[in-house]
Amino acid sequence: MISEFRLHRRVQFYETDTAGVVHFSWYFRYMEEAEHAMWREVGLSIHQPNGAIVWPRVNASCDYHRPLRFEQEFDVVIRIAEITARTIRYGCEVTDGQTTFATGSLTIACASRQPEGPMRSVDIPMDVASRFHVASGAGA
C-alpha cells in the first residue's frame, strides 16, 4: 500500500514562458505525472485503453507560492488525502526541499465507461482501493 509518492523533475524550456518561468498550466501536468507514477509504483495504470473503468478529474486546484524557472530541479510530492467509495483526493506539493513553489489538490472519480451515453459513477474496485491508503496528517 502507498500513501505518498515523490517524483523528481527538472524544468524543461518548453514548460516556460518567455521570461523562463514555468507557465501556470504545467503545475497540473506535474501533479498528474506524479499521480501516474504513483499508480505504476503499485502495479496499476490509471488508463486501460479498453477497460471498463475510467478516472475523470472532477476537481483540481493549485496555489502558486514561488516561480519555478528553466533548468531548476524540483520534486512533486503527491499524497492520498482522502478515499471515499467513489473518489480519490490527492494533496500535492511542488518543492525543492527548502522552498515550496506550489500546493494543490486533485480529485478523481471512478466511473464506468458506457459504449453510448454518459459515464456513470461507480465504486472503486477493491483491487485498486486496497493499494492506497490515506497519508497520516493528510488534510490538504
**What is the mean predicted confidence (pLDDT) over 46-52?**
87
Residues recognised as catalytic:
17
> What's the pLDDT band for 139 if we cut at 50, 70, 90?
low
3-class state of residue 128 by DSSP: helix
Residue 94, phi then psi, degrees to nearest 5: -105, 120
Q: Which domains does the chain have, with CATH numbers?
A: 4-129 (3.10.129.10)
> What's the pLDDT band for 49 if we cut at 50, 70, 90?
confident
pLDDT score recorded for residue 13: 96
DSSP character at residue 44: -
Residue 1, class by beta-carbon neighbours within 10 Å (0-12 exposed, 13-18 middle, 19+ buried)? Answer: exposed
Q: Which residues contact 70 (CB under 8 A, 6 or more apart)?
A: 11, 12, 13, 16, 20
pTM summary value = 0.92
